[in-house]
Chain A
Amino acid sequence: MTPEIAPWEALWRWMFILGCSSFVLLLVYALLTGARDIVEMFKGLASGEDEDLE
């Protein structure tokens, strides 16, 4: 690997590693909290009101 390539390759490699592992965590978090949010959304829609939380 030439000196021109090395720093760029390192940047992209770490972006790939950190990005992919963080995404897996986000996937689990969003699926768990999203399930709870769906239940809340249905409850709200069934109540027939259209209000902001704040």
Chain B
Amino acid sequence: MEFAILDWLIVVAYTGVILAIGIYSNRYISSLSNYLVAGRRVRTGLAITTMISTELGLVTIAYSSQKGLLKGFAAFHIPLIAMLMAMVVGLTGFIIYRLRRARVMTIPEYYEQRYGRKTRILGGVMMVVGGVLNMGMFLYAGSVFIAGITGLYETAHINIIMTVLLLIVFAYTILGGMVSVVITDYLQFGMLGLTFVVVTAFCLSDVGWEKAVRAAADGQVAQQRHAYETSQQKLLEEGRQPEKEFTPEPEAAFDPFKGIGILYMAWMFIHFVAGWSLWQPATLRALMAASPKIAKRGYFWSSLGFLIRFMVPYFWGICAVAFLMEDPDSFAALLSGTENEVSRATMMATPLYIGQLLPAGIKGFVVAGLLASFMSTHDSYLLCWSASIVQDVVGPLAKLYGREISRRARLLLTRIFIFLIGLFLLFWGLWFPLRGDVWDYMAVTGTIYYAGAFAVVAGGLYWRRASSTGATLAILAGILAVGGILPWPRWGVTLPPWSTSAFPLGAMAVATVALVAGSLLFPDRTRKEAGS
């Protein structure tokens, strides 16, 4: 179905309202804490809406629908682990309670309290590198999804739409800071929540649960057959005999141990423990809560959103498989080509399916909801990383050289960095050669930061002997996770599929060992209290 004028009107009206509210919020920016943590005045209801809106972006929908399409119901273990880990963090207050009590505005600020200024600068650099790289795919994945659902396949059209949206986000984030982010997040939460309900209702009425179950099994077997035929072809080309008969395993679409593997599941477990407690855009919601108790409560209830943000788009992806399996050749075509082409095709399939499913008017409403999720994530992430550059790198560096940056200058610098990071996103999204699925890219880039951060913050809060040398070594160990996204095939290196999990898991293990060994071998002369 075409994207009609009515659909466009809905989209333009919605983005106009968001822009106006964001600009209005500028009048409340009277201090740096108002700009960065909304004056620490966010209560439970607002904490939930801003937390879920931030972590439920268009990129989340894009990579989750791709994961559901490729892995079927077996991928459902990811939202289950995500929800349980957020509940644990919310119930126990693990890390977030003490961080909020320390009244810091960023996590590296805690590094300085506990380990010293140099650790803060290094930690700030690593956090921003991991965070900005993590954002690198937001624009690309969002563009592909919007292209699929609207039927605007011309790359130039999509780039123009995304650039305009990014400019709108710039305008209200640069002007209104966290106050406008929190309010627009609230509206966007309502919009994308309704979008989830509407699209899921259409998918259920079109495909239904039973057909989705069959499609997931058929899709998994089709992928296994494709992988088998490719490997046999390779053996024949090398002059070797085919190894064995093809044995379909439909249960791999349901059983995560068979479909995905225990190493990957272990990675997800550790990823979410560290991610929910230390991923700066999420942790910032705890740091701006009106009290440590509200921070915990916000996390606990948001855990339901963390389940939904993965599970529902997975289901849309499985419904897309049901649609594609009506013509098995079209599903097989998705799997043919280079890794980059397969990645794009598998991400495009679900929005194409949704696009032909929804009638005019509803489609405009859904696209407005998707754009809401695009903006609500971008605004928070842009503000978060730019604030970290200023607060944790530029400011402390200036202090090291005996200079002080005024609050007014910090506000200006934060706004400049919001713009610069946005420019980076435009370029990175266009040229980075993505291999594999987008979720794995996101999880690996996140690990660059939190592999070290988890050891450093947990060690700092709960272990009195953690030292600044141990912290420095642990932060640097996060670099090992980069191996998970390097273009190895381009360099002629073939790695096994489990290597994607092994790099981040290895980085986290090395970081933990580095903190312990570094702290025991090189203790600080003046030891600070755990949890100080």
A residues within 8 Å of B by Cβ? 1-2, 4-5, 8-9, 12-13, 15-16, 19-20, 22-24, 26-27, 29-38, 40-42, 44-46, 48, 50-54
Contacts and interface: CB of A to CB of B under 8 A. Distances in A.
B217 interface: yes
Contacts of B46: 33-34, 37-38, 41
Given A4-B255, A8-B255, A37-B43, A31 B49 contact: yes
Contacts of A27: 189-190, 193-194, 197
A19 B30 CA distance: 41
A54 B103 CA distance: 12
B291 A20 contact: no
Interface in B235-252: 250-251
Given A4-B251, A26-B305, A33 B44 contact: yes
A40 B38 CA distance: 12
A16 B45 contact: no
Contact of B193 (A4, A12, A23, A40): A23
Contacts of A22: 304
Contacts of A54: 291-293
Nearest to B197: A24
Contact of B49 (A9, A30, A40, A50): A30
B42 A5 contact: no
20 contacts: A2-B250, A4-B255, A8-B74, A8-B251, A16-B315, A23-B196, A27-B190, A29-B45, A30-B49, A30-B301, A31-B186, A31-B193, A35-B186, A36-B45, A40-B43, A41-B46, A41-B182, A42-B28, A45-B34, A48-B30
Contact of A34 (B48, B305, B308): B48
Contacts of B103: 52
B28 A46 contact: yes
B33 A53 contact: no
Interface string B273-313: 00000000000000000111110000001001101100110
Given A4-B254, A27-B197, A31-B186, 15 more contacts: A4-B251, A8-B74, A9-B73, A15-B307, A15-B311, A16-B76, A19-B83, A23-B308, A29-B45, A41-B39, A45-B28, A45-B34, A48-B31, A50-B34, A53-B294
B255 A34 contact: no
B209 A13 contact: yes
B147 to A, nearest CB: 27
B118 interface: no
Contact of A1 (B34, B213, B305): B213
B73 A8 contact: yes
B179 interface: yes
B98 interface: no
Nearest to B43: A37
B41 interface: yes
B410 interface: no
A25 to B, nearest CB: 9
Contacts of B372: none
A36 B45 CA distance: 8
A8 B33 CA distance: 48
A29 to B, nearest CB: 7
Contacts of A40: 41, 43
B41 A44 contact: yes
- In the A-B complex, the 3 residue pairs with the closest CB atoms: A33-B45, A8-B254, A37-B46
A30 B34 CA distance: 22
Query: Which of B45, B83, B312 neighbours the largest number of chain A CB atoms within 10 Å of its CB?
Result: B45
Nearest to A40: B43
Contacts of A42: 28
Contacts of B312: 20
B87 to A, nearest CB: 12
A3 to B, nearest CB: 9
Contacts of A46: 28
Contact of B304 (A19, A35, A36): A19
B30 A23 contact: no
A45 B76 contact: no
Contacts of A24: 197
Nearest to B75: A12
A27 B293 CA distance: 21
A37 B42 contact: yes
Contacts of B291: 52-54
Contact of B76 (A12, A26, A33, A50): A12
Given A8-B255, A41-B182, A34 B193 contact: no
A31 B190 contact: yes
A34 B52 CA distance: 13
A42 to B, nearest CB: 7
Interface string B326-347: 0000000000000000000000
B200 interface: yes
A19 B311 contact: yes
A51 B311 CA distance: 38
Contact of B189 (A13, A30, A48, A51): A30
A52 B209 CA distance: 48
